[in-house]
Amino acid sequence: MKAELLVDSRCLLGEGPVWDEREGTLWWVDIDGKRLHRYHMAEGQHEQAALPAKVGSFALREKGGLITAGEHGWALCDEDGSNWTPLADPEKDCPRHRFNDGKCDAKGRFYAGTYSLDNKPEASLYVMHPDLTWHKLLDGGIVCSNGLAWSDDGKTLYYIDSPTKRIDRFTADPVSGRLSGRRTVIEIDEPGVVPDGMTIDEEGMLWVAEWGGWKVSRWNPHTGQRLMIIEVPAQHVTSCAFGGAQMDELFITTASIGLSEEDRLMQPHAGGVFHVHAGIKGRRSYRFAG
């Protein structure tokens, strides 16, 4: 199965796709380009807005606007990136760290992890609660916190720290959000390929974007078996999310950063957003309850 170009957004580091089922729009960010993107599916209209900082991830808010996690911690803003309101920066004393991938669980809590730009295992995973208090879930031992996905009952969290080249699972407490019982369920052994962002479908299977791998793979977390490959005409595949009217469309973000001129000729739409009708429905993107 092959993904096709949806939006030639030319992102340096496209990331964090979020489907808004209420408005029929797809959101994503260009981390290094400091841009917020939105695509209206029905009209085929692409909008973008400048952001004041690098944003690694974000979520739509129930109250309207966005919560973001980026190089200066968490912040709230309007849908056009304006009215930027900082909340907290738990790693303000670590200038070589920034927030990376993040996502809300079904309770409306926003989980986001950090990334050590020096590739040291000193990053962490945090959760921001709807009352705007936060706590640290995983203290250190992480290099590049990435994909997050929850089981349907909210009792299992699947998690990626990219350089480990594996997907781990935690037992998640649906009430407190705290994690325990970490173990590896999937290992990716392809040279030059690391897992990046991730989503989950209605059957509980994981869809993993593979940086350096030209693809998104569907994995069974119970057996560790790869079930399907979605080919993407861009080498650096960063993340994916389900959406569309029937929730069976997979949206895929990519990056162009670090590509040589020769690479760019071979993949002229790198940094764009691609899509494919996956033949199975996925889980929606949850909103931040704060």
In whole angstroms, give the CA distance from residue 122 to residue 288: 27
Would you state the structure tokens that stand for residue 164, as one six-digit string?
Answer: 């480990």
Beta-sheet strand order (sheet of 73-77): 55-60, 66-70, 73-77, 85-88
Q: Which of 27, 81, 5 is nearest to 243 (CA)?
A: 27
For 177: left if phi > 0, alpha if psi spans -120 to 50, otherwise beta; the answer is: left
210 is in an annotated binding site: no
83 is in an annotated binding site: no
CA dist list (Å): 104 to 62, 68, 111, 128: 12, 11, 6, 9
119 is in an annotated binding site: no
In whole angstroms, give the CA distance from residue 211 to residue 232: 11
DSSP string for 106-117: TTS-EEEEEEET
178 is in an annotated binding site: no
User: Of the residues 173, 196, 201, 248, which is catalytic?
Assistant: 196
Q: Is 196 a catalytic residue?
A: yes
220 is in an annotated binding site: no
Binding residues for a divalent metal cation: 15, 146, 196
Binding residues: 15, 98, 100, 118, 146, 196
Binding residues for substrate: 98, 100, 118
List, by residue number, the catalytic residues: 196
